[in-house]
Amino acid sequence: MDQPKAPPPLILLVEDDPGIRRLCDRALRAWGLRTEAATGPEQALPLLNRLTPDLVLWGLPLATADGLELLRRLEDCLDAPPMVVAASHDERDEALRLLAGGAYALLDKPLDNLELLRHTVNRGLEWRTLRQQRYRYHARLQQDVDARTAELRDLSQHLEHAREEEKRRIAKELHDELGMTLTALFMDLNWLREKLRDADEPVTCRLTSMHTLLEGAVKTSRRIIRDLRPSVLDNLGLIAALEWQAVEFNARYRIPCRVEHRGDDNGLSDTTRITLFRIFQEALTNVARHAGAKEIRAALTLTHGRAALSVHDDGSGFDPARVSPASHGLLGMRERLHQCGGKLTIESAPGRGTRLCAALPLQPQEVPA
Ligand SMILES: Nc1ncnc2c1ncn2[C@@H]1O[C@H](COP(=O)(O)OP(=O)(O)O)[C@@H](O)[C@H]1O
Ligand SMILES: [Mg+2]
């Protein structure tokens, strides 16, 4: 089926001199264009909004009519038509100001050079077509970028979820299967040691060494299980898990970490718990790696349908605007929070410590009645 033919371009002619208006109107129509005329700005502005012309030919005396105001309005339209200004010789300065402000072209009044008018109008219309194409291209590009960003966000959310599930599954399997085997081995070994208490020294030595090895294996497996998924998070909740993590951190890095809390963590969803817990872990790791801090203060508030976790260290601080795009820790925190409708804020400056705050809205079922 044939596409309906587009109507000819529409020119808005703003001119108070009836002679010039008639001349231009006739010429423009003779060149196959549509025209609409206005005799003053109060008429021109509503027409501009209603008709969305393809080009404006502005011939009003510049001292009396506010051409700059019109230009500003044109700039505000997404689909702004070009403006051709017709000015008499003594209006040159004002006309040049309009050109500098974004008018498309300047013509001399009384517009008796019709060839020049025709050429300027045609060029203006071509310019407009190119600009519209550029707008459309940008709009399409933006749509593509938005769609791709949404896809990547979905994928990242899916992967994060799958990773947590996988960690939880491995932790459970290690705990149930390996843990049981190690416990059974331990009991058997103790039984053997009991039975062979009076055996030769090489035998008892070997049994003692086996015992030490087995103890090491049990400790290692417990550590791995905890790192994968601390059972305290599932069994005792977020507050207990943060406190436990703070103690572990202090034991490992010798940096005291105080955790304060306000509100009830009983109804928190798995997603909220794991999101805030992982952010806490990453924030502590950053303090240990980068801050050289003496003390950390963390606070969890669960009030007004919102969870906020802040971690404040008195270390070296940094300029958040200059973080390398290759650093993924802070980016990961942001992304995790974004997925729950939350937000990360960082206040830091070199020499001034760092305060990081992760805030997210709670679902109605997470908030105590
Ligand atoms: N608590 C902090 N104190 C000082 N600098 C920090 C702190 N947290 C983050 N930074 C700075 O921000 C950068 C980015 O952190 P992050 O995204 O976690 O990446 P990474 O830890 O892998 O470098 C770090 O390299 C560090 O320079
Ligand atoms: Mg990091």
For residue 96, what pLDDT is reported? 85
Q: Let me know whether 105 and 191 are in one domain.
A: no
Q: Which among 185, 176, 191 has a CA at the least distance from the CA of 213? A: 185
Q: Let me know whether 237 and 327 are in one domain.
A: yes
For residue 217, what pLDDT is reported? 94
In this predicted structure, the answer to whether residue 66 has a pLDDT above a threshold of 60 is: yes
327 CA from centroid of ligand 2 (Å): 7
Residue 307's DSSP bridge partners are: 302, 360
The residue nearest atom 6 of ligand 1, judged by CA position, is: 290
User: How much of the chain exceeds pLDDT 90, in percent?
Assistant: 71
Residue 110 and residue 20 in contact, taking contact as beta carbons nearer than 8 Å: yes
Provide the CATH number for the domain around residue 90: 3.40.50.2300
Query: Does the CB atom of residue 296 touch ligand 1 within 6 A?
Result: no
290 CA from centroid of ligand 1 (Å): 6
Q: Let me know whether 352 and 262 are in one domain.
A: yes
Q: Which among 30, 52, 16 has a CA at the least distance from the CA of 121? A: 30
Provide the CATH number for the domain around residue 250: 3.30.565.10
Tokens of 120: 């300027």
Q: Let me know whether 91 and 39 are in one domain.
A: yes
Q: Is residue 125 part of a domain?
A: no
330 CA closest ligand 1 atom index: 17
pLDDT confidence band for 51 (50 / 70 / 90): confident
Q: Is residue 36 part of a domain?
A: yes
Out of 228, 248, 271, pick the residue that ends a domain.
Answer: 228
Q: Is residue 257 part of a domain?
A: yes
Q: Let me know whether 87 and 28 are in one domain.
A: yes
Query: Does the CB atom of residue 323 touch ligand 1 within 6 A?
Result: yes
Q: Let me know whether 15 and 103 are in one domain.
A: yes
Q: Report how far residue 188's alpha carbon sits from residue 181's, in angstroms, rounded to the nearest whole number.
A: 10
The residue nearest atom 13 of ligand 1, judged by CA position, is: 323
132 CA from centroid of ligand 2 (Å): 45
Q: What is the pLDDT of residues 26-43, one digit of tens each?
A: 999 999 999 999 888 788
Q: Report how far residue 54's alpha carbon sits from residue 56's, in angstroms, rounded to the nearest whole number.
A: 7
Q: Is residue 131 part of a domain?
A: no
Q: Is residue 132 part of a domain?
A: no
In this predicted structure, the answer to whether residue 204 has a pLDDT above a threshold of 90 is: yes
| Choice between 128 and 112, residue whose per-residue pLDDT is larger | 128
Q: Let me know whether 274 and 184 are in one domain.
A: no
285 CA closest ligand 1 atom index: 21
**Average per-residue pLDDT for the chain:** 91
For residue 40, what pLDDT is reported? 80
Out of 82, 112, 142, pick the residue that ends a domain.
Answer: 112
What is the tally of structural domains in the chain? 3
Q: Is residue 340 part of a domain?
A: yes
Around ion ligand 2, residues with a beta carbon closer than 5 Å are 286, 329
Q: Let me know whether 102 and 168 are in one domain.
A: no
Out of 112, 131, 147, pick the residue that ends a domain.
Answer: 112
Q: What is the pLDDT of residues 346-360, one digit of tens each?
A: 999 999 999 999 999
289 CA from centroid of ligand 2 (Å): 8
Q: Let me know whether 14 and 90 are in one domain.
A: yes
The residue nearest atom 9 of ligand 1, judged by CA position, is: 286
Q: Is residue 188 part of a domain?
A: yes
| Choice between 112 and 298, residue whose per-residue pLDDT is larger | 298
Q: Let me know whether 212 and 331 are in one domain.
A: no
Q: Let me know whether 237 and 212 are in one domain.
A: no
Query: Does the CB atom of residue 199 touch ligand 1 within 6 A?
Result: no
For residue 62, what pLDDT is reported? 63
Q: Let me know whether 323 and 201 are in one domain.
A: no
344 CA from centroid of ligand 2 (Å): 14
Q: Is residue 134 part of a domain?
A: no
Q: What is the pLDDT of residues 299-344, one digit of tens each?
A: 999 999 999 999 999 999 999 999 988 888 999 999 999 999 999 9
- Structural domain harbouring 309: 233-366
Query: Does the CB atom of residue 313 touch ligand 1 within 6 A?
Result: yes
